[in-house]
Amino acid sequence: MITPTTDPQPADFADVRATNLAVVLRSVREHAPCSRADIAASTGLNKATVSSLVADLIDRRLVRETGLTENRVGRPATMLVLDGSPYAAIGVEVNVDYVTAVAVDLSGERLLSWRRSFPGATTTAAQAVATVAAIVRRVVNRMAREERQVLGLAVGVPGLVGADGTVRVAPNLGWRDADVCGDLTRALRDPGFPVRVDNDANLAALAEHRFGPWAGTANLVYLTGEIGVGAGVVLDGRLRRGGQGYVGEIGHIQLDPFGAECRCGRLGCLEAVAGIGAVLEHPALSPAEVEIELDEVVRLARAADSRTLSTLAAVGHNLGKGVAMIANLLNPEVVILGGYYVPLAPWLLPAVEAELRGRTIAPDAGGCQVVASTLGYGAAALGGAARVLDSVDSGRLPRVS
Ligand SMILES: [Zn+2]
């Protein structure tokens, strides 16, 4: 909301100011380096208001002057960029075979990125909370040593996550009704920053929407290519969650009534016939083992091994059926394949494209492209950090310390 200063002062002036600070902050993020006049032009706020808001943002070290000026007619304009270096946003992903932690500063600069093996399939939610809490404490200590204020933490989990951060069902982890958010907050002893838990695909979609090559694309779907397959859906510029937050469980749409058994107990689910488990000889559990097996699959595919190529083509066709459903239903501009799909993309994509084009009613698949993610295995964790930064953008600014 932008309030012209000629209007009578609204009742809740502090709220309006916080909102306008966020508006200016977003404008700097989108247009930096930019001048105060540029901000006034792009936001519709008047120049005096912008100057006052910018001064506040500089005080909070969210924005800084570059020292460079842009020469225009009249006075040279001092250019502004995001600062945010005194702040950190933390994202963590818990998955079947690994835990990843990422911290970024406000401008999205990667401060750390850790990945370690994790026996998710045999670990209870309580044990997972203890593991995540231990990792987060290490990240927080590192941030404290670097004199950064932690703005928040968001943890991605492959499962249905309610708005309160309760994991309702995580079939690949074997969790049910686990209050991961509450337990984690307690394990961190009320850390003084917000703790959120979200679906891993949702967070990965936020990471793509904020940091990836398709950043800012209004209609984008991210498909996780892990042991499970889930979709994160951004439509009209916003992550879509649905009635209870369960949008995107495409992994459990039945593609083949006679297909392989899925971990959810049903037959022929998309993730059973198009997930990484359908590619590997042995559905190994540690990421190191999965990566070794994947390297071998890639090597064989490069060597044109016929069995490998036909497996990848079959998985690609199954995956393409799923992508076509997404395209028919949601009309995204891009479907981004993440996780273990990335190294396999050169062999999967031709079959995916063929199914997409053959199964969509709209000409040219409704403009939908399918690409491999460039964010790597840390996408969901990076998305956790993106979710924290998004909350800053929408007005939850850090306190002045
Ligand atoms: Zn299933």
Q: How far is the CA of 42 from the centre of ligand 1 (A)?
A: 47
One-letter identity of residue 142 = R
How many CB atoms sit inside 10 A of residue 6's CB? 6
Sign of CA pseudo-dihedral 208, 221, 251, 320: negative
- Distance in Å, CA 252 to ligand 1 centroid: 4
Per-position pLDDT tens, the chain of length 401: 444 444 444 446 678 888 899 999 999 988 989 999 999 999 999 999 999 999 999 999 999 999 777 666 666 789 999 988 899 999 999 988 889 999 999 988 999 999 988 888 788 999 999 999 999 999 999 999 999 999 999 999 999 999 999 999 998 888 999 999 999 999 999 899 999 999 999 999 999 999 999 999 999 999 998 878 999 999 999 999 999 999 999 999 999 999 999 888 999 999 999 998 899 877 655 667 888 899 999 999 999 999 999 999 999 999 999 999 999 999 999 999 999 999 999 999 999 999 999 999 999 999 999 999 999 888 999 999 999 999 988 878 887 65
Q: What's the CA-to-centroid distance between 251 and ligand 1, angstroms?
A: 6
Distance 183 CA to ligand 1 centre (A): 27
**Whole-angstrom Cα distance, residue 219 to residue 200?**
18
Predicted structure pTM score: 0.89
Q: What is the pLDDT of residue 72?
A: 61
Which residues neighbour ligand 1 (ion) by CB within 5 Å? 252, 262, 264, 266, 269
pLDDT of residue 73: 61
Distance between Cα 280 and ligand 1 center (Å)? 18
pLDDT value, residue 5: 42
- For the chain, give the number of residues: 401
> 250: CA distance to ligand 1 center in Å?
9
Q: Give the pLDDT score at 2.
A: 44
For ligand 1, the distance from its centroid to the CA atom of residue 263, given in whole angstroms, is 6
Question: From ligand 1's centre to the CA of 362, what distance in Å?
Answer: 28
- Cα(253) to ligand 1 centroid in Å equals 7
C-alpha 276 to ligand 1 mean position (Å): 14
Ligand 1 mean position, distance from CA 102 (Å): 29
Cα separation of 199 and 239, whole Å? 12
Ligand 1 center from residue 264 Cα (angstroms): 4
Both structure tokens of 40? 């006034």
φ/ψ of 51, rounded to 5, equals: -60, -45
Q: Is 359 exposed, middle or buried (0-12, 13-18, 19+ CB in 10 A)?
A: middle
Question: What's the rounded Cα separation, in Å, for the pair 266 and 253?
Answer: 10
